[in-house]
């Protein structure tokens, strides 16, 4: 693992983290195969991170695998509405996790996201959740908020939790 | 079909400009420019327009109204809240819910209406020289605004979420009382926080702002007040940036408002930020300091019977027991209320993930949530936070959570858990990363006493931003005088919750309405020669 000092250079707010990590990634626009709407903010690398993490966060909530594109689309729509400073932080977080040094050295996930197992991802999330480093705690909470908001934003998740949805008033 | 007074007004020719659609820069003139359309700006607009003054209102958010309010979280948060309801303090330890659309936080608040507590006013008189702030002297202003906004006792039975607070508290000998609400013919739906779809809530959106617009005031929405052009101790112009339809990015168009007088009512974060961006004089370094939040912690009670905390008037009962136990300037006290629960915000806020989180969500119909709002700002160890600016000019609040606050948080967790078990909870879960559902009061008590209380472990929220531009009797300890007039800028006033020198110990809307009405009436008298009487 990196020292605290080194980690801070990777900080969410640091701005230079991608350069520091030697990561150069173009904006590869992600177009889902299913013919759903292209993503506005997230790119293919961001999608791969999300597609690996969301099923672990949402385990037990319902058919996550069958709704991955809907979850990714829902996160993308949420990010569009955030102010520029938060959009930049979210993009930095996904870019960091999508990079080799970010995944391997900071998240401690050995396998590429598409191949990492549930237990390995859950262990990474738990480490960041209770990390001594505030940036990791903040990053965990950002992932938690984005994914749970994306899931429960969708009316088809409501029957499983007994929520009838808003009443009819017209 | 529910009539939509905003769409009707627009059809009738109100002067409303959606700045996102501007194709060129815009320059406007008015007697008074008001920044912000929430509790302070709305009240001020009506009073000044009634006095015959030409008023221009500038709002950062969009104009949305009952036809738009579909009670859907994923639509409401981006449209109606600052930063899509994801605004946080600088260290991200406190989530701040603030409105951002025409009507400000009044469009999305939960209608709880309290006069400023007498103990708070006494503290202000003693410590900040606000000699006229007695309950008696303010009573006519409260009465005026209560009449205007239909603040009254709520006669309908409380929903189960509120009833549980009363039931648990009663078994422990803790007093609760009813919350008055600013509603007319309320349908008791429970979606106040997502914009009232029936126009029952007497927010600024359906009361003072339409009244001002009907008298010829102009409203520019999706325009962010960027800075004042200041010269010689006066504001010469207000420069605003037009925003896109989402209210996220600047379009590059500018709106400039030239006025005789400027009223800033952009809230406890927006107001100091605008003055900081403008380079406003701050000789005593008080601008943006002492910003208070009522830092709020929560506990979920998992009940045997249905709670359905999404349905019914959200806040109808409260307890001030833990505010009144000690002196106001002693260990921090807290007010107890309940929180309405909607799935998106609940899912985001509940700690943990995977099967444990999913199990809690499946219990959603049985979840009851108590809130403890800590009364900050009355003790030397509760100096609040500081508003600063990011590199892009956007505001950020730094609010350190210190041992003085954490002491109150622990007592609040204990009090909430004990009440919830007394109300029959099967399990109680403090909203804290290290907490799990506890099955007995004894187990909960032991666990809460051992919980590490640190930023980002305890969930801390705020829906009440106050202070940052305190009023005081003299410039050494405030930004504005007791009538909201800036100490250094002669044609600029502040009429919002940022003028409070401490937090309130009560939900702030009615305090803001009354204090803004008082300041606005005095301003109208000065500018238009009309007398400042509360009964007007």
Contacts of A80 in chain B (CB under 8 A): 246, 248
Give the range of the structural domain holding residue B437, as residue numbers without chain letter.
160-187+296-375+402-454
What's residue B1's pLDDT? 84
Whole-number Å distance between alpha carbons of B97 and B94: 10
What's residue A20's pLDDT? 41
Number of domains in chain B: 2
Whole-number Å distance between alpha carbons of B86 and B84: 5
Contacts of A86 in chain B (CB under 8 A): 83, 86
Q: Which residues contact A2 (CB under 8 A, 6 or more apart)?
A: A10, A105, A106
B183 and B62, same structural domain?
no
Do the Cβ atoms of B248 and A134 come within 8 Å? Answer: no
The answer to whether residue A5 sits within a structural domain is: no
Q: Which residues contact B80 (CB under 8 A, 6 or more apart)?
A: B61, B64, B99, B100, B101, B107, B108, B194, B195
What's residue A31's pLDDT? 62
Q: Which residues contact B514 (CB under 8 A, 6 or more apart)?
A: B115, B116, B138, B141, B142, B144, B145
Residue burial A69-78, b: 16+ Cβ < 10 Å; e: rest: bbbbbbbbbb
Contact B486, B261 (CB under 8 A): no
Question: Six-digit token pair at B291?
Answer: 């910003």
B234 and B182, same structural domain?
no
DSSP classification of residue A24 = -
Per residue of chain B (536 residues), what is the pLDDT tens digit? Answer: 899 999 999 999 999 999 999 999 999 999 999 999 999 999 999 999 999 999 999 999 999 999 999 999 999 999 999 999 999 999 999 999 999 999 999 999 999 999 999 999 999 999 999 999 999 999 999 999 999 999 999 999 999 999 999 999 999 999 999 999 999 999 999 999 999 999 999 999 999 999 999 999 999 999 999 999 999 999 999 999 999 999 999 999 999 999 999 999 999 999 999 999 999 999 999 999 999 999 999 999 999 999 999 999 999 999 999 999 999 999 999 999 999 999 999 999 999 999 999 999 999 999 999 999 999 999 999 999 999 999 999 999 999 999 999 999 999 999 999 999 999 999 999 999 999 999 999 999 999 999 999 999 999 999 999 999 999 999 999 999 999 999 999 999 999 999 999 999 999 999 999 999 999 999 999 999 866 666 55
Mutation test of the interface with chain B: which of A133, A166, A168, choosing the one with the most B Cβ atoms within 10 A? A166
Contacts of B348 in chain A (CB under 8 A): 144-145, 148-149, 152
The answer to whether residue B390 sits within a structural domain is: no
DSSP classification of residue B309 = T
Whole-number Å distance between alpha carbons of A114 and B263: 55
Q: Which residues contact B299 (CB under 8 A, 6 or more apart)?
A: B369, B370, B413, B416, B417, B420, B428, B429, B430, B431
Tell me the H-state helices in B4-95.
5-11, 39-50, 73-80
The answer to whether residue B90 sits within a structural domain is: no
Question: Six-digit token pair at B506?
Answer: 């009560």
Give the range of the structural domain holding residue A93, as residue numbers without chain letter.
27-156
**Cα of B365 to nearest chain A Cα, Å:** 6
B308 and B285, same structural domain?
no
Please, what's the largest Cα pairwise distance for chain A?
59
Q: Secondary structure of B386-429 in the HEC alphabet?
A: EEEECCCCCEEEECCCCHHHHHHHHHHHHHHHHHHHHCCCCEEE
Indicate the pairing of strand B296-302 with strand B427-430.
antiparallel
SS3 content of chain A, % helix, strand, coil (to 5): 60, 0, 40
Torsions phi, psi for B381 (to 5 deg):
-90, 10
Question: Six-digit token pair at B177?
Answer: 């009382």
B183 and B51, same structural domain?
no
B228 and B145, same structural domain?
yes
**Cα of A117 to nearest chain B Cα, Å:** 14
B209 and B168, same structural domain?
no
B524 and B485, same structural domain?
yes
B509 and B360, same structural domain?
no
First and final C-alpha spacing in chain B? 34
The answer to whether residue B395 sits within a structural domain is: no
**Cα of B5 to nearest chain A Cα, Å:** 15
The answer to whether residue A162 sits within a structural domain is: no
Whole-number Å distance between alpha carbons of B17 and B19: 6
From the list A80, A149, A158, the residue facing B348 with the nearest CB is A149
Do the Cβ atoms of A86 and B86 come within 8 Å? Answer: yes
Contacts of B84 in chain A (CB under 8 A): 78, 81-83
The answer to whether residue A103 sits within a structural domain is: yes
Look up the CATH number of the domain holding residue B416.
3.30.410
**Minimal-distance CA residue of chain B relative to A155:** B72
B271 and B127, same structural domain?
yes
A31-73 per-position pLDDT tens digit = 666 656 789 999 999 999 999 999 999 999 999 999 999 999 9
Cα torsion B104, B105, B111, B113: sign = negative
What's residue B427's pLDDT? 98
Per residue of chain A (170 residues), what is the pLDDT tens digit? Answer: 344 444 444 444 433 344 444 444 444 556 666 656 789 999 999 999 999 999 999 999 999 999 999 999 999 999 999 999 999 999 999 999 999 999 999 999 999 999 999 999 999 999 999 999 999 999 999 999 999 999 999 999 999 999 999 999 96
Contacts of A138 in chain B (CB under 8 A): 91-92, 456
- pTM of the shown model: 0.95
Number of other CB atoms surrounding residue A7 within 10 Å:
18
SS3 content of chain B, % helix, strand, coil (to 5): 35, 25, 45
B145 and B54, same structural domain?
yes
Torsion of CA B494, B141, B102, A155, to 10 degrees: 120
Please give the full DSSP string across B182-249, using - where no structure is assigned: EBSS----S-GGG--TTS-B--GGGTHHHHHHHTT-EEEESEEEEEEEEETTEEEEEEEEEE-TTS-S
Do the Cβ atoms of A152 and B354 come within 8 Å? Answer: no
Which residue bears the tokens 């990561």?
A23
B250 and B125, same structural domain?
yes
Do the Cβ atoms of B347 and A86 come within 8 Å? Answer: no
B356 and B264, same structural domain?
no
C-alpha to C-alpha distances, B233 to A33, B29, B71, B487, B533, nearest whole angstrom = 61, 20, 46, 10, 29
Number of domains in chain A: 1
Do the Cβ atoms of B355 and A145 come within 8 Å? Answer: no
Look up the CATH number of the domain holding residue B122.
3.50.50.60
The answer to whether residue A84 sits within a structural domain is: yes
Whole-number Å distance between alpha carbons of A112 and A110: 7
The answer to whether residue B355 sits within a structural domain is: yes
| ipTM for this model | 0.96
C-alpha to C-alpha distances, B59 to B16, B247, B278, B393, nearest whole angstrom = 11, 11, 18, 17
The answer to whether residue A17 sits within a structural domain is: no
From the list A56, A145, A152, the residue facing B354 with the nearest CB is A56
């Amino acid at each position: 693992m990196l020292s605290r000092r080194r980690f801070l250079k990777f900080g969410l707010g640091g701005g230079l983290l991608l350069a520091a990590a030697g990561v150069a990634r173009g904006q590869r626009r992600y177009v889902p195969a299913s013919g759903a709407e292209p993503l506005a903010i997230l790119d293919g690398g961001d999608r791969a991170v999300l597609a690996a993490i969301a099923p672990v966060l949402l385990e037990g909530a319902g058919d996550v695998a069958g709704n991955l594109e809907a979850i990714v689309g829902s996160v993308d729509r949420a990010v569009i509405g955030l102010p520029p400073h938060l959009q930049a932080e979210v993009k930095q977080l996904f870019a960091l996790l999508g990079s080799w040094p970010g995944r391997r050295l900071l998240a401690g996930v050995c396998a590429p996201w598409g191949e990492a197992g549930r237990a390995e991802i859950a262990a990474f999330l738990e480490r960041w959740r209770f990390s001594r480093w505030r940036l990791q705690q903040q990053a965990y909470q950002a992932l938690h908020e984005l994914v749970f908001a994306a899931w429960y934003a969708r009316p088809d998740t409501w029957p499983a939790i007994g929520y009838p949805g808003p009443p009819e008033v017209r | 079909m529910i009539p939509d007074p905003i769409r009707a007004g627009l059809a009738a020719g109100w002067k409303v400009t959606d700045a996102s659609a501007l194709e060129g820069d815009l320059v406007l003139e008015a007697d008074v420019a008001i920044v912000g359309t929430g509790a302070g700006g709305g009240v001020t607009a009506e009073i000044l327009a009634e006095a015959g003054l030409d008023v221009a209102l500038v709002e950062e958010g969009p104009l949305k109204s009952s036809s738009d309010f579909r009670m859907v979280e994923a639509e409401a948060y981006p449209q109606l809240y600052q930063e899509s309801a994801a605004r946080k303090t600088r260290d991200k330890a406190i989530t701040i819910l603030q409105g951002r659309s025409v009507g400000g936080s009044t469009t999305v608040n939960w209608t709880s209406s309290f006069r400023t507590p007498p103990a708070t006013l006494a503290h202000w008189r003693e410590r900040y020289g606000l000699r006229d702030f007695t309950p008696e002297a303010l009573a006519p202003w409260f009465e005026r605004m209560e009449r205007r906004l239909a603040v009254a006792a709520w006669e309908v039975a409380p929903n189960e979420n509120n009833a549980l607070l009363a039931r648990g508290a009663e078994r422990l000998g803790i007093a609760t009382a009813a919350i008055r609400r600013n509603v007319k013919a309320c349908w008791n739906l429970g979606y106040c926080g997502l914009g009232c779809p029936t126009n029952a809530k007497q927010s600024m959106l359906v009361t003072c702002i339409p009244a001002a617009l009907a008298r010829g005031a102009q409203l520019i929405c999706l325009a962010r007040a960027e800075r004042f052009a200041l010269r010689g101790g006066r504001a010469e112009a207000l420069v605003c940036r037009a925003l896109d339809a989402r209210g996220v990015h600047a379009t590059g168009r500018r709106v400039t408002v030239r006025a005789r007088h400027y009223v800033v009512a952009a809230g406890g974060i927006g107001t100091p930020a605008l003055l900081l961006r403008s380079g406003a004089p701050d000789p005593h370094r008080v601008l943006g300091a002492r910003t208070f939040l009522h830092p709020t912690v929560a506990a979920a009670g998992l009940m045997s019977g249905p709670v359905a905390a999404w349905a019914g008037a959200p806040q109808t009962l409260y307890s001030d027991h833990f505010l009144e136990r000690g002196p106001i300037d002693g260990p921090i006290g807290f007010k107890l209320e309940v929180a309405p629960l909607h799935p998106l915000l609940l899912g985001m806020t509940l700690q943990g993930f995977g099967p444990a989180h999913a199990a809690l969500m499946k219990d959603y119909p049985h979840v009851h949530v108590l809130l403890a709002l800590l009364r900050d700002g009355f003790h030397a160890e509760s100096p609040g936070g500081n508003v600063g600016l990011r590199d892009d000019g956007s505001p950020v609040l730094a609010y350190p959570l210190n041992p003085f606050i954490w002491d109150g948080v622990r007592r609040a967790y204990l009090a909430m858990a004990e009440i919830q078990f007394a109300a029959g909870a099967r399990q109680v879960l403090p909203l804290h990363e290290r907490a799990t559902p506890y099955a007995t009061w004894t187990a909960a008590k032991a666990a809460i006493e051992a919980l590490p209380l640190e930023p980002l472990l305890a969930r801390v929220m705020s829906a009440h931003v106050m202070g940052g531009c305190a009023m005081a009797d003299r410039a050494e300890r405030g930004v504005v005088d007791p009538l909201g007039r800036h100490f250094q800028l002669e044609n600029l006033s502040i009429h919002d919750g940022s003028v409070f020198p401490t937090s309130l110990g009560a939900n702030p809307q009615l305090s803001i309405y009354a204090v803004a009405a008082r300041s606005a009436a005095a301003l109208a008298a000065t500018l238009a020669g009309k007398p400042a009487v509360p009964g007007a």
